[in-house]
Structure formats: C-alpha cells, structure tokens
Structure 1
Amino acid sequence: MTAANGSDPHETPTPDAAVPDGAAGTDTAGVQGTGKGTGPQSTGPQGPSVAELAAGYAEKAGVHRNSAGHVDMLKTAGGIQGIAESILPGLVFLIAFTITRELTPALFAALAAAAVFTVARLVQRRPLTQALAGIAGVGISAWLANSTGKAEDFYVLGFFTNIAYIAGMVLSIVLKWPIAGLLFGFVRNEGLEWRKDPERLRVYRLGTWVVVAVLALRLVVQVPLYFMGEPGLAALATTRLLMGAPLYILGLWVAWLLTKPAVQARPAD
C-alpha cells in the first residue's frame, strides 16, 4: 500500500507468495472475479478494459495481485530484494557502530550498503526508483546523524515519514476516500463502485485504520527508545527492523481480510 512505500530506508520497502486468504475465487461478492474465464478482458481496438486499467493502477500504486486475484503480499512489500534494500543499510549501520563505536565509519558502511543495491539494479537493468529512493533516504539519515553527532538520529527520518503517512491516511478516511478502498478496490475489480455502497465504504475505512494503527504502533514503541539516546540504540534499530516490512505485511494482510466482500449465495436452480 502506498502508505508504507515511503523513502525512509528503515521502514517498509517500496514494491518492485500468495496471501493466505482462503481458496481462490472466494473474494468475488458482487464484483468481477479473477478466476478462470473472469479475468481482465481486452476490448480489442477500443483500448484496454476497465479491469485492465484498474489492474495497472493498482500495480503502479504498489499493490500487486497474484493469479488467484488476491493481493500478493511479498511482491507488494517489494519482494526479497526490496525487503533486503529496506533492512540491510540500517542493520549494517548498527553492526558497524556497535563494533567501532565510531559514527563516521558506521555511516559510510550504511551508505555503501545502499549503493550496492543501486549497482545491483543497474546490472539487472531493473527500475532504479526504489534503489535511488533508498540511497537518498540513507543519505539524509546519515547527514542528520553526522550533523548532530548522535547515532540515534540515523533513524529519526522514519518518524517523520510515519507521521506524514498517518496524516494522509486519516485525511483519506475523513474525506471518505480511504486508501485501502482505492487500492484494494482496484485489485478486486470494484473500481470506484465500492464508494456507492455504505458497507463497502465502512470496511475500507476500517482497513485503512488498520494500516494507520501499524504506523502509529511504530511511533509508540520506537520514539521512547529514541529519547533514551545511545543506550536505546540497539533496541531502536532492532524494533525498526522487526516493525518494518514484517509488520507492514501483517497489517496489509489483516486489512485485506477485513475488507473482503461477503460471498453472496447463488439462487437455487
């Protein structure tokens, strides 16, 4: 979900395993399915269908669907490489600082780790957006820590990123355009029709609140550790890793399940 795809290199990775959401084809109450014979269909010379446009929108927004028509949680979280790109620079920084007790070599080590992923994407000829955003985030984090001389400030960018996402998601709920609906609705081929159904609007607002809760939980746990200073650095770095991609995937999965359309019973022949 876009709310977790920020530029903070220590939080949740940007997108580049199927979700355990029950049997395929069960997520299709009143909307076009994605099972056999019901997938997006081209309109030929008239251009792409609404379903194809919806799928493209969802993918660009960072939410990917698998062959069963469910959200592909691993791919949405950036895949193995994307998760590694979000985790390793912060982990390398912590290890280097713990060993040397010197800020400068630890910051250079983190920057080098981020640079490796950029080079890897160049070699793989993959889009550089995520890697460039990651190295920019690490660069800003390194600049903050170097400017203050405090190792814990390497992680402070994530707090502001989380606050910005929380504000944006809460605003989307208030305006009745919840982020979960905009993304999951397209994956489910609901388009924007869900906004006409009060119940669908309600559950998508609830799903958005789930992601807000994930972001807020990060702040509740990590901000006190930050204010502990260097004694809390190891705990801050560890919780940043655990509450990054793993917690995001869990929150996204819960939001997907909560917003699942009710299965409508078919009339008897």
Structure 2
Amino acid sequence: MSAADEQRPEQAPSSASEVIGAALGGAARKAGLDPTEESSTQKVVWSAMGGWRGILESVLPSLAFVILFTLAPDPLILSLGVSVGLAAVFTIVRLVQKSPPSAALGGLIAAAAAAALALWTGRGADNFVPGLITNAVYGTVFLVSALIGWSLIGIAAGFLMGDATGWRSDRRKRRAFRWLGIAWAVLFFARLAVQLPLYLTDQVTALGTLKLIMGLPLFAPLIAVTWLVVRALYPRASPQDPAPSA
C-alpha cells in the first residue's frame, strides 16, 4: 500500500467535518452562539432561545393543543387547527416584519406534518410522533459522533474558533467535546425515555405537558454549560496581554 493510499481514509472525514462544521457554525452564529463575540452567558442563552418571540413560537402551539385537547378532545381537528394556526400566525408576522422566518417556518412545517398524521390516524398522541423521532435521531447522532471522536460540538466550535479539526489533537479539548456531545445525547434520550411510554399508552395530556417541561427548561441550562466550556477551552486574549517577544 502506498503512502497516498494510507492517507486517503483521513481525507474524507476531514472534508466532511469542514462541511458539517460550516453548517453547524453558521447555524450557531445565527442563533447568537459565537464564542468569538463578547457576550454574557445570560445573553447567549436568551439569544439561542430566540428571545420572547422564540419562546412563544416554541411553546404556544403545543400548549394550545394540550389545553384544547384536554378540555374538548372531540373533534380532534379543533385542537390541531388552533395549534397549526398559531404556528402560521408566527410565520406570517416574521414575513411581514422581514425578520428571518426560518425558526417559525420550521415550526409551522413540523406542526402541520404532526397534525396531518394525527388527523389521518385519529389519535391525538400521534401529534407528538415527529418530536419523538427527532429526539431519537438527534440523540443517536450526538452519541455516535462523540464516541467515535468527532463530536458535533467540537466540529462546530472548531469552525467558529478557526481551529478546524485541531481540537482533535488536544486531549483536553477532545475529552471536553466528547462529554458535551454525550450530555446532549442524554438530554434527547431522556426526553424519549419519558415521553415514549406516555405515547404508547395514549396519555396525550401528560405527554404534551412533559414535552413542554422537558423542552426549553432543559435546553437553556445545557446551552449555558456548552457555551461556558467552549469559552474556557478558547479563552479570549486580553488587550493588555504583552505581545510575544521575537
């Protein structure tokens, strides 16, 4: 086997990591998660949640569905219609104000797909199937990537900090990003472990309530921890630090 052949297995992961890093890093910047910027942890978490608008877009459609389904489960189309309608209103408001509609549009598409499935099966619990699938997929991807040494957190942080894949040669960074990836996987799998039994037993109200409780309230502190760890691994140079001597 030639030296060129020996190097080929390493080239593909590097190229893939650059593409994934660019995508994740771009998404992180749009969400206000750029470690190169001087921001407080509170501001970063608030920005990642999208502020009050983001919180309302995330919570209100599901909350409306749970309340209406609990008070009047029949007809199912009422609770589903209000949920999708709220998501549509948020999207229209963003379009009118010419603000980035991606978050609200994504919520609208997810709400519409979930509602269509629930109407097709006639089961209110099926409104939560997309969320269950999302948790399973995200949990698996975060866990596998962390265990094989290509943590998605590390790939995104490396792109944002101009470190590319250099963090993989730093034992401290590699270990930190591995555990951060595992922590995110645990969050997604914990949601799945709690919510799947409720789905299987058709406990719609409890399922919807726990989905809300295990949403932003768990997302926010993990975002804060991730931000603090990345900032600790890549400390900003102080303006007063002396320049290295020649």
Report the CA distance shift for 1:262/1:79 in structure 2 as closer, same or farther (over 3 A): closer
In 1, the alpha carbon distance for the partners of 2:127 and 2:229 equals 35
Task: Tell me if 1:68 matches 2:38.
Answer: yes
Match of 1:172 among 138, 145, 157: 145
Counterpart for residue 5 of structure 2: none
1:229-256 Cα distance to aligned partner (Å, 9 max, x none)? 1xx2221111101111221112222334
In 2, the alpha carbon distance for the partners of 1:68 and 1:128 equals 26
Aligned length: 211
Task: Tell me if 1:88 matches 2:60.
Answer: yes
CA contact (8 A) 2:69 2:205 kept: no
Task: Tell me if 1:162 matches 2:162.
Answer: no
Structure 1 stretch displaced more, 62-71 or 240-249: 62-71
User: What is the letter of the counterpart of residue 108 of structure 2?
Assistant: I
How far did residue 119 of structure 1 move? 1.0
User: What is the letter of the counterpart of residue 33 of structure 2?
Assistant: H
CA contact (8 A) 1:88 1:113 kept: yes
Task: Tell me if 1:126 matches 2:99.
Answer: yes
Structure 1 unaligned runs (5+)? 1-53
Task: Tell me if 1:247 matches 2:218.
Answer: yes
User: What is the letter of the counterpart of residue 221 of structure 2?
Assistant: L
Of Structure 1 and Structure 2, which has the larger fraction of its residues in helix? 2
Report the CA distance shift for 1:234/1:57 in structure 2 as closer, same or farther (over 3 A): closer
Counterpart for residue 211 of structure 1: 184
Instruction: Quote the RMSD (CA, aligned, Å).
Output: 2.7
CA contact (8 A) 1:118 1:131 kept: yes
Aligned positions of 1:13-32 closer than 5 A? none
In 2, the alpha carbon distance for the partners of 1:210 and 1:56 equals 21
Match of 1:97 among 66, 69, 73: 69
Aligned positions of 1:219-234 closer than 5 A? 219-229=192-202, 232-234=203-205
How far did residue 80 of structure 1 move? 2.1
Counterpart for residue 6 of structure 2: none
CA contact (8 A) 2:33 2:227 kept: no
TM-score norm. by structure 1 comes to: 0.70
Counterpart for residue 148 of structure 1: 121
Report the CA distance shift for 1:55/1:137 in structure 2 as closer, same or farther (over 3 A): closer
Structure 2 unaligned runs (5+)? 1-20, 236-240, 242-246
TM-score norm. by structure 2 comes to: 0.76
CA contact (8 A) 2:146 2:178 kept: yes
